Amino acid sequence: MNANAKPSKMAVEARNGKRARITIVAPCFNEAETVDLFVETIAKTLSGADFDYDLLFIDDGSRDATRDRLTAIAQEESNVRMIALSRNFGKESALTAGLDAANGDAVVVIDVDLQDPPELILDFVRKWREGYDIVYAAREDRTSDTTAKRATAGGFYRLFNKISSTQIPENAGDYRLMDRRVVETVKLLPERSRFMKGLFAWVGFKSIGVPYVRPARVAGETKFNFWKLWNFALDGIIGFSTAPLRIWMYIGAVIAVLSALYATYIVAETLIFGRDTPGYPSLMVSILFFGSVQMVSVGVLGEYIARLFAEVKQRPIYVIDEVVGDAADGDAPSGLTP
């Protein structure tokens, strides 16, 4: 992301010349407890705003009353639309479906649990009109997360930024506004393993953070357990860096040098002192050591190959079951519709 570049004058004029419409994309998975409050809060927050907005919910295969609630809201409110996916595809795929179908001048992606304060949208739009293409919410502190999550998340972003040429801001989540041309660019990225934060950063454009303090969920609980987060982190690292693949050349080279030194030592020792020790412990240790090093390196290869396999199959990223709402008469979503 190019945080220092100055916004272009033409972009600023285009964004201020007419009344803008912002599409707010919210992925929902088992959020029956939070959707109504979310819609209410958005309406209250944006009622006096000097731009129009429409809400686009993606029901990501919820197993509770979420879809029924969203269907009711989408039928009632003219500026609300729901796209229901055919099963749970995961947040990243749901977001992709949302971006594909969003047709506003700018798009905001937001969680429905109100951990992303809606009043920030006003700041987002202000910065967007100043000419920034991406305006993201920057967490001032993460006290609403557990200590363990904070430590692992911090470690992950530091590692990611070290070994990837794509840089993602450490304190940014998915909550952000993107200009139409950013959305169009993200839509050009076809990969199946969708680490959206990485894709958002990869496209570039002028971006800026708006600081905020992340509150706790209003209701329900997080959908991300340790295992899901681990796989998410792997998707991110493997999708945006080849360092884990290439590092084995250097590890191998270091081990080769050490082995040569050790071999010289053993040969010299045997020549000088004769053959007196059977050498079982050193043999055992080296067999186990090289066995595990090789398994780890094959495992890393496996991670890349598994993702190559997923890419080669070219399956759609999501499948749409149903679209509800007036705004649906606008752009047809480009995902797979039955």
Site for ligand UDP in 40-99 (CB under 6 A): 60, 88, 90-91, 94
What does the block give as tokens for 72?
A: 């009711």
Does residue 92 touch Mg ion according to CB under 5 A?
A: no
Residues 6+ apart with CB under 8 A from 157: 168, 170
Q: Which stretch binds ligand UDP (CB under 6 A): 25-33, 191-199, 287-295, 302-310?
A: 25-33
**What is the amino acid identity at position 53?**
Y
Does residue 28 interact with ligand UDP by CB under 6 A?
A: yes
132 is in the binding site of which of ligand UDP, Mg ion, none (Cβ under 5 to 8 A by kind)? none
Site string for ligand UDP, 196-235 (x = CB under 6 A): --------------------------xxx-----------
Which is nearest to 85 in space by CA: 328, 313, 325, 324? 324
* Cα 239 to chain centroid, rounded: 11
| Residues 108-167 contacting ligand UDP, CB under 6 A | 111-113, 115
Kindly list the strands in the beta sheet with 106-109, ordered across the sheet, starting from the edge strand earlier in the chain: 207-212, 134-139, 172-179, 106-109, 21-28, 52-59, 80-85, 320-324
CB-count exposure of residue 308 (10 Å: 0-12, 13-18, 19+): exposed
Q: Which residues contact 295 (CB under 8 A, 6 or more apart)?
A: none
Residue 31 contacts Mg ion per CB under 5 A: no
Q: At closest approach, how far in Å is the CB of 327 from ligand UDP?
A: 19
How many amino acids of this chain bind ligand UDP (CB under 6 A)?
16
- The residue (of 92 and 179) whose beta carbon lies closer to Mg ion is 92
Q: Of 59, 86, 54, 88, whose CA–CA distance to 71 is shortest?
A: 59
Nearest approach in angstroms of CB 328 to ligand UDP is 19
Among 11, 31, 129, 207, binds ligand UDP (CB under 6 A): 31
Footprint of Mg ion on 97-116 (CB under 5 A) = 111, 113, 115
Tokens of 285: 């240790």
Binding site for Mg ion (CB under 5 A): 111, 113, 115
Binding site for ligand UDP (CB under 6 A): 27-29, 31, 60, 88, 90-91, 94, 111-113, 115, 222-224
